[in-house]
A and B are shown apart, each in its own frame.
Chain A
Amino acid sequence: MTDGTEPGFIELAEVAKAFQVRRKAGRLRRSRHEVRAVDGISFTVGRGEMVGYIGPNGAGKSTTIKMLTGILVPSSGRIRVAGIDPSRERTRLARRMGVVFGQRTTLWWDLPLRDSYELVRRMYRVPYDTYRKNLDRCVELLDLGPLLATPVRQLSLGQRMRGDIAAALLHDPEVLYLDEPTIGLDVISKARVRDFLREVNASLGTTVLLTTHDLTDIEQLCRRVMVIDHGRLVYDGGLAGLHEVGESERTLVVDLAREMAPIEGVPGARTVKVEGPRQWLAFPASQSAAPVVAAVAERWPLVDLSVREPDIEDVIARMYTGRAE
């Protein structure tokens, strides 16, 4: 019913997942307690969107992906992907989605890549023409040609990842989930994977949800980013907006005529570092740099200056620590 035209292609409403964890308490006794890996998450992703899903280790990213793909059944809440409840109709949804796990392959370990693809074609009942067309495109864009006869276990990590991504796309999935698709890859492989994902999203309109530790992935691929921490969604919006939420700061770097005591008394700014005649002043990213520059230039012997934009890694790190405290 919600299929196709509606913006909510992926819908989560108050989704939670709690695990019972047994811990050692003394030599033999074990105590049970509940861990809420995902603690009431709601969001929607429209068809054709490409969304980054980030958070520290153990924040609940993988658990969310596992619920979206139907591997795990949520403890509470409602999930719909293309109108389908993933945990109830796992195999029906499987035909319409592609999944890539960065840490483990979905390919058959001992089979050559080509045989794995052939098996995917038959298992997903992909019409031969579609399969041929998709495989050709993947082979070309991911440079898989020389690898097709190689058993998966002999592939390098980067080669395997490219092979896995191709396998996830042979059946024209409407949605592609990638769990850490660039983990452990070298710079060139990362660039190739990113180019390919951008191309797939743009030309085929495939909805993409990816988790990653590498924020460059997000910066280069996603207009929208969701941040999860301690099982809760702490941010959902554009990349730029992250800075405001994360209380990120820009830095004014000033070179003075000589070594001086740390600059004081500039409204909205504070000196964070002094190194010889060079000093660093931090001020809120939302604030204009002009009054800070003017205030410094007025009272100190300014030789040169530059403004540094906030680093997204710092922003995210600050968000995580901010919540943890």
Chain B
Amino acid sequence: MAESFGRAASVRHGVRAYLLIVAMWVRSTLTYRASFVIMAVGNAAGSGLEFVAILLMFSHIDALGGFGLPEVALLYGASATALGLADLLLGNVERLGSRVRDGTLDVLLVRPAPVYVQVAADRFALRRIGRPLQALAVLGWALTRVQVDWTPGRVVLVVAMLLSGAAIFGAIFTLGAAFQFVAQDAAQVQNSFTYGGNAMLQYPPTVFSRELVRGATFVIPLAFVNWLPALRLLGRDDPLGLPGWVDFLGPVVAAVMCGGAALAWRAGLRGYRSTGS
């Protein structure tokens, strides 16, 4: 009991430190308001352009892989919102490699706050809120257009989808950062799974090869970000023919991923502290 109390206290301590640093960066960002607005709009436009590309595709077709525009928009909105939230809150951990290289990680290690919290919060970029906001707008539009018989349970499913999706992407960001303890120049690799994952999840699973969908379900469980819950919401079968209850496993998968990411991060940091590189 004492240990769990201590853990709760240290979590509270970490969250507090995160909020402190974030608040300071937000304040400093807002002193250059014009620059902030341009960047936030640019950020929203960046992910918005991907949706424009989808719209352009649908100017030539009615369905892609058997999915209509509102359904693809639902997939797009859910995935981009989840990625946007994770990127906003934790995206800065991808700078870990350069911190190891230039030695500024040492500076974080002499401060009385968890290193992970400091890496994630440092240079917090509020402008990144553009992407999740834009994605939420698309998601909102899609939810009004798809044929769904809304029940409280389905509303919970949507909310759980977004939160566990963000957690899964956050775990991947963290795993990528932990990998940079070993390979400092490999920041790009995680992009394959975060931005690349997002680029994949925007489209229906029917578009991709069975092996890819299987890999995205069992190896790197991106399918739980939006595919499985959204297919359930839309009343469609998933292409792998998994049992129905799997569609609800998103939060469980997210928790397992976060646990694994935490272990990887700790191992990476322990390695750093024993080798200094």
Partners in one complex: yes
User: Which residues of chain B from 6 to 57 have any CB-CB distance to chain A below 8 Å in the complex?
Assistant: 17, 20-21, 24-25, 27-28
Closest CB-CB distance, A92 to chain B, in whole Å? 8
> Could you tell me the distance between the alpha carbons of A66 and B272 in the complex, rounded to whole angstroms?
12
Of A68-76, A207-215, A220-228, the one contacting chain B is A68-76
Complex contact B27–A115 (CB within 8 A): yes
Of B80-88, B98-106, B227-235, the one contacting chain A is B98-106
Candidates A70, A104, A110; contact of B103 at CB < 8 Å? A104
Candidates A19, A69, A111; contact of B275 at CB < 8 Å? A19
Complex contact A95–B112 (CB within 8 A): yes
Chain A residues within an 8 Å CB radius of B274: 72-73, 75
User: Which residues of chain B from 72 to 100 have any CB-CB distance to chain A below 8 Å in the complex?
Assistant: none
Closest CB-CB distance, B98 to chain A, in whole Å? 13
> Could you tell me the distance between the alpha carbons of A147 and B132 in the complex, rounded to whole angstroms?
38
Complex contact A110–B123 (CB within 8 A): yes
Binary flags per residue of A61-88, CB closer than 8 Å to B gives 1, else 0:
0010010011111010000000000010
> Does B111 sit within 8 A of A, measured CB to CB?
yes
Complex contact B109–A123 (CB within 8 A): no
Chain A residues within an 8 Å CB radius of B122: 108
> Could you tell me the distance between the alpha carbons of A98 and B103 in the complex, rounded to whole angstroms?
18
Closest CB-CB distance, A167 to chain B, in whole Å? 10
Complex contact B107–A101 (CB within 8 A): yes
Chain A residues within an 8 Å CB radius of B113: 91, 123
With A73-B273, A91-B114 as known contacts, state yes or no: A123 contacts B20, CB within 8 Å: yes
State which size class the interface on B falls in.
20 to 34
Candidates B110, B112, B275; contact of A20 at CB < 8 Å? B275
> Does A59 sit within 8 A of B, measured CB to CB?
no
> Could you tell me the distance between the alpha carbons of A90 and B24 in the complex, rounded to whole angstroms?
24
Complex contact B114–A66 (CB within 8 A): no
Q: From A37, which residue of chain B is reached at the shortest CB distance?
A: B276
> Does A297 sit within 8 A of B, measured CB to CB?
no
> Does A271 sit within 8 A of B, measured CB to CB?
no
Count A/B pairs, Cβ under 8 Å.
70
> Could you tell me the distance between the alpha carbons of A106 and B104 in the complex, rounded to whole angstroms?
8
> Could you tell me the distance between the alpha carbons of A20 and B276 in the complex, rounded to whole angstroms?
10
> Could you tell me the distance between the alpha carbons of A19 and B276 in the complex, rounded to whole angstroms?
8
> Could you tell me the distance between the alpha carbons of A97 and B109 in the complex, rounded to whole angstroms?
12
With A90-B109, A91-B114 as known contacts, state yes or no: A111 contacts B103, CB within 8 Å: no
Complex contact B109–A69 (CB within 8 A): yes
Chain A residues within an 8 Å CB radius of B276: 19, 63, 66, 71-72
Chain A residues within an 8 Å CB radius of B107: 101, 104-106
User: Which residues of chain B from 111 to 156 have any CB-CB distance to chain A below 8 Å in the complex?
Assistant: 111-114, 122-123
Complex contact B110–A99 (CB within 8 A): yes
Q: From A110, which residue of chain B is reached at the shortest CB distance?
A: B28
Q: From B21, which residue of chain A is reached at the shortest CB distance?
A: A119
Identify 12 residue pairs between A and B in the complex whose beta-carbon atoms are under 8 Å apart, listed by A's number.
Answer: A66-B106, A70-B110, A71-B109, A71-B110, A71-B276, A72-B274, A75-B274, A91-B112, A104-B103, A110-B28, A115-B24, A115-B27
Tell me the B residues contacting A by CB distance below 8 Å. Answer: 17, 20-21, 24-25, 27-28, 102-104, 106-107, 109-114, 122-123, 270, 273-277
Tell me the A residues contacting B by CB distance below 8 Å. Answer: 19-20, 63, 66, 69-73, 75, 87, 90-92, 94-95, 97, 99, 101, 103-106, 108, 110-112, 115, 118-119, 122-124
Can you name 8 extra interface pairs (CB under 8 A) apart from A71-B109, A71-B110, A124-B112?
A: A19-B277, A71-B106, A73-B274, A91-B114, A94-B112, A104-B104, A104-B107, A110-B123
